[in-house]
Structure 1
Amino acid sequence: MNANTVERRTALHGFALTAALLSGLALAGCQTAPTGEFNNIDKAQGSTENISSLSAVIQRNPQDPEGYNVRGSAYGRGGQYRAALKDFDTAIQLSPNFYQAYSNRALIQRFLGNQEAALADYNRAIQINSSYDAAYIGRGNLYRKAGRTQDAFNDFQKAIQLDTTDARAYHNRGLIYQSQGQHAFAIEDFSTAISLSPDAAEPYNGRGLSYLAMNDEDNAFADFNMAVKLDGKNAEAWSNQALIYERRGDKARASKSYREAVRLDPTYQPAKDGLARTNAG
């Protein structure tokens, strides 16, 4: 599913440098955030065949809340959000303290734009289990989208203090450090996120931006290249790669990468501007 992960743009050294500063990390779990976080989830888990098999399990044991929770997650991965919401509702009706189902339902509420309902579900999940890291990460993303940066930071910090192995906690805390200009801390968090989820492109792209902000162009370029390799549909990564080519005077390669970014996202202004610059004359 193609969700736009870019929410912040920044300029460095006279060029329009762009980044997914407020992106979410795509992981195979239903507690991820709705913008960008369903991108790399295995859609086969939401396939008709998988839904059918899960429905058969529910038919054999209709009073088991876990069955509805699992099928709701599969519906979410397959983009069937209303069906997912219905299954999570049923799971919670059958088991009112099912904190995972509350957190999963919160994600779907967020995707559907029901932010207050999402917050209530995250709060309930945390009330039931104050050590549930996924709910803190999900709520942190909700706060971050709402501009409540300190609240978001506190939730990501709490998840990390709980020894989470979820890369999103580090990635998203890194984004906050980055937005505050604390690039050394941001690089450390992005690096941890990469170690936990080495196949995710977003932390490479984010770390590359912080390297560039610290004038470490070589490491920035390596990270942008890796982001493009891992996710060839990431327009921001292509644009950032192009920027390095442009800074190095290689207009041909810069133009090619900017052109790919524009092809992937025709509305992405920094890539359009970069393409105009490198094609000038």
Structure 2
Amino acid sequence: MASLSFQSRAGRRRAALAGTLLSAIVLASCQSAGMPNADMIRLDAAQGSEQNIASLTQVIQNNPRDPEAYNVRGSAYGRGGQFELAIADFDQALALNPRFYQAYANRALIHRNLGNREQAIADYNAAVQINPNYDAAYVGRGNIYRQAGMLNEAYADYNRAIQLNSTDARAYHNRGLIQQRRGSHVEAIEDFSRSISISPRSPEPYNGRGLSYFAVGDQDNAFTDFNRAIQLDENVAESWANQALIYEQRGENDRAARSYARAAQLDPNYQPAKDGLSRTRGI
């Protein structure tokens, strides 16, 4: 009987630890940017190269009243990290065509990268006012709301994009993050699975789905998803910390410590990795 009591206490401690770990990692995940390009522009030096900009400038010189020409060059400036020049081009595109909703959304993304949240939201508002069926603007605005902790507003925007049959994996992934934070893990798994079907080479939805599998007690599928995330990109700290979570729950503390260490090496500020490393190295 004493043995059974001890096992019961150990089981309860492990369950409590699992809940604590999951809450910490889910919170860290929900506060992250989500999928690549969800909030920040992925810079591409080739887009901002002198040769490419010169070619696009020639198009503008040949068609100085064409708003699309300015929109294209503005996008190139943005991808090249020349944000102020990008805004100037989007401003000109909108001066030539005030109903150019794509230019509003593109300028919003630049403002988001510059930290100008209010201007970004205003531009996304203008885009959806002109074209209420423009799913990319709802996703973009939802991303800003989510990062600001305005989860109800973000959820409504992702829902709207999905209702419009969006093929943007971020709409499903980021709605899944909100479902996850609310404890609706079955619905979150569905959203992450849909995101994976659209963008199967992105590690983020595998990490998200794995955490929700873990939350519902399916450690095998969780471990499979975390390992798949690492296979897709071995430089994501979250993936290694999530893998370590399974090792730790299995009592394989040496393996857990190595995975937490790898996560901490990739991102020294990732708190779940630091906490996990402290726990497992001390055992």
TM bracket, shorter-chain basis: 0.7 to 0.9
Alpha-carbon contact 1:153-1:173 (below 8 Å) kept:
yes
Q: How far off its partner does 1:233 sit?
A: 2.1
Q: Which residue of 2 aligns with 1:181?
A: 183
Q: How far off its partner does 1:44 sit?
A: 4.1
CA separation of 1:238 and 1:78: change in aligned 2, threshold 3 A? farther
Alpha-carbon contact 1:241-1:257 (below 8 Å) kept:
yes
Matching residue within 13, 18, 29 for 1:12: 18
Would you say 1:26 and 2:36 are equivalent positions? yes
Would you say 1:63 and 2:65 are equivalent positions? yes
Alpha-carbon contact 1:207-1:220 (below 8 Å) kept:
yes
Matching residue within 168, 171, 178 for 1:166: 168
Paired with 2:18 and 2:35, the residues of 1 have a C-alpha distance of: 24
Of 142-151 and 262-271, more deviation after overlay is shown by 142-151
Alpha-carbon contact 1:193-1:203 (below 8 Å) kept:
yes
Amino acid of the structure 1 residue aligned with 2:105: S
Report Cα offsets for 1:91-122 as digits up to 9, x if no partner.
Answer: 11121110000011111112212111111111
TM-score with structure 2 length normalisation? Answer: 0.86
TM-score with structure 1 length normalisation? Answer: 0.86
Secondary structure at the aligned position of 1:275 is classed as helix
Q: Which residue of 2 aligns with 1:8?
A: none
Matching residue within 74, 86, 104 for 1:72: 74
CA separation of 1:130 and 1:231: change in aligned 2, threshold 3 A? same
Report Cα offsets for 1:57-101 as digits up to 9, x if no partner.
Answer: 223323221122122222222322222222211211121110000
Q: Which residue of 2 aligns with 1:272?
A: 274
> More helix per residue: 1 or 2?
2
Paired with 1:15 and 1:25, the residues of 2 have a C-alpha distance of: 22
Amino acid of the structure 1 residue aligned with 2:18: L
Name structure 1 gaps, 5 residues minimum: 1-10
Secondary structure at the aligned position of 2:30 is classed as coil
Name structure 2 gaps, 5 residues minimum: 1-16
Alpha-carbon contact 1:21-1:206 (below 8 Å) kept:
no
Report Cα offsets for 1:114-139 as digits up to 9, x if no partner.
Answer: 11111111111011111100111111
Secondary structure at the aligned position of 1:18 is classed as helix
Q: Which residue of 1 aligns with 2:215?
A: 213
Paired with 1:43 and 1:203, the residues of 2 have a C-alpha distance of: 28
Runs of 4+ in 1 over 6 A off after TM superposition: none
Paired with 2:80 and 2:66, the residues of 1 have a C-alpha distance of: 22
Q: Which residue of 2 aligns with 1:6?
A: none
CA separation of 1:138 and 1:213: change in aligned 2, threshold 3 A? same
Identity of paired residues, percent? 60
Amino acid of the structure 1 residue aligned with 2:25: T
CA separation of 1:54 and 1:250: change in aligned 2, threshold 3 A? farther
Paired with 2:228 and 2:85, the residues of 1 have a C-alpha distance of: 36
